[in-house]
Amino acid sequence: MTTNLSNPDICAPGAKYDAGVCSSIFVLKNIIEAINKTKNEKIVIPNEIQNKEILDPTGYKTYLISKIKENVSENCNNEVCWLDESFVKQMTEKAKKEFLEYTFKPKSPQGRYTWLNTNDIDYVLDQHCKKKDNTKFISYGAMPMDFADLDYYDINKVSFDDLKQKGKTQIGFVLNLDDHNQSGSHWVGVFVDLDKKGVYYYDSVGKKPEKRVVNFMDKVKNYFKQKGVPDNDIKIGHNKVQHQHGNTECGVYSIRFLLQMIKGIDFDEFCNNKFSDKKINKCRRKYFRINPKN
């Protein structure tokens, strides 16, 4: 019998929901070890239970969960509140990172239709990079429009050849139309496919890219040309269709654009298939752990 401390909707894209939790066996075992570091009476896993790790992993997880439940705060009755338990500090760095960053979807911004900030976008894209289906994808996160003038952004030092050698042939990032010293105005998405020889710009209100984005797209185009790709085989595109009509949906539109491109969706088909603000706001539940009050 499983113990449902979570539900699949809050699990990170790379996490597997099993035995009623999002945490992996690796994380659960490490939590037990962390708890034991602070207890005189240690949790001992019987041999017959340890043998289940391979033969019956769900049963094994269920046992570990039962022991963890016995050692959490009295008012902690779900898996998410484990994040605030003192044992987290005793976990190994690897297990702690998996538990804190890649077990649950990021917490949603306050407010039902709140504008996404840089951290919100970075967190979602980073989690999708870790998904097993997305091994070709690398995200450079959310950046200001003057990214090319700021040395600390990795995209400025990127070598497309090096990325290809590492198997990273799908490149994505989100740009704000404001510079780094401004408050932020509107998010757009940029996607490069090194395999399919394409670079694409997506603005959810259908405007064409400004000069600094064009410069980056030209850089990609020149890379393809240096590799001997004929001009006719290089695909460059920008969205011309207005999808967004509200004021706070641009970040979610940009995330969805990149995640659809990863799947191999045709760019023109994606742009021409109109997607409403109502639909895009439902996507927030796909990308974030929604506060029930929102």
Secondary structure in 3-state letters for 190-216: EEEECCCCEEEEECCCCCCCCHHHHHH
CB 121 within 8 A of CB 174: yes
Look at the pTM and tell me if it is higher than 0.85. yes
Q: What is the pLDDT of residue 292?
A: 52
Pick the last residue of a domain from 54, 74, 101: 101
Do 129 and 163 lie in a common domain?
A: yes
CATH number of the domain residue 191 falls in:
3.40.395.10
H or E element that contains 70: none
Q: What is the pLDDT of residue 2?
A: 47
Of 96, 94, 100, which is closest to residue 80 (Cα–Cα)? 100
Of 145, 162, 138, 150, which is closest to residue 261 (Cα–Cα)? 138
Do 162 and 28 lie in a common domain?
A: no
Residue 108 lies in a domain: no
What is d(CA 259, CA 137) in angstroms, rounded to the nearest whole number?
10
Cα angle 145, 258, 105; round to 5:
100
Give Cβ neighbours of residue 273 (< 8 Å, ≥ 6 apart).
Answer: none
Scan for tokens 């952004």, then name that residue.
153
Phi, psi (rounded to 5 degrees) for 32? -60, -45
Q: Which residues of the chain have pLDDT under 70?
A: 1-3, 291-294
Do 128 and 239 lie in a common domain?
A: yes
Scan for tokens 């391979």, then name that residue.
54
Q: Number of structural domains, the chain?
A: 2
Residue 53 lies in a domain: yes
CB 35 within 8 A of CB 73: no
* Bridge partners of residue 172, in order along the sequence: 139, 191
Do 33 and 131 lie in a common domain?
A: no
Residue 281 lies in a domain: yes
Tokens of 139: 């995200």
Q: What is the pLDDT of residue 1?
A: 44
pLDDT per residue as tens digits for the range 204-239:
999 999 999 999 999 999 999 999 999 999 999 999
Of 151, 269, 135, which is closest to residue 202 (Cα–Cα)? 269
Pick the last residue of a domain from 101, 130, 146: 101
Residue 251 lies in a domain: yes
Do 268 and 125 lie in a common domain?
A: yes
Do 128 and 220 lie in a common domain?
A: yes
CB 222 within 8 A of CB 291: no
Q: Is the dihedral of CA 243, 239, 283, 121 positive or negative?
A: negative
Q: What is the pLDDT of residue 194?
A: 98
Q: What is the pLDDT of residue 111?
A: 80
Do 16 and 58 lie in a common domain?
A: yes
Q: What is the pLDDT of residue 291?
A: 66
Tokens of 291: 């506060």
DSSP letter at 275 equals: -
Do 204 and 58 lie in a common domain?
A: no
Look at residue 248 and give its three-state secondary structure: coil
CB 173 within 8 A of CB 217: no
Residue 2 lies in a domain: no
Instruction: For residue 154, give its domain range.
Output: 118-287
Residue 272 lies in a domain: yes
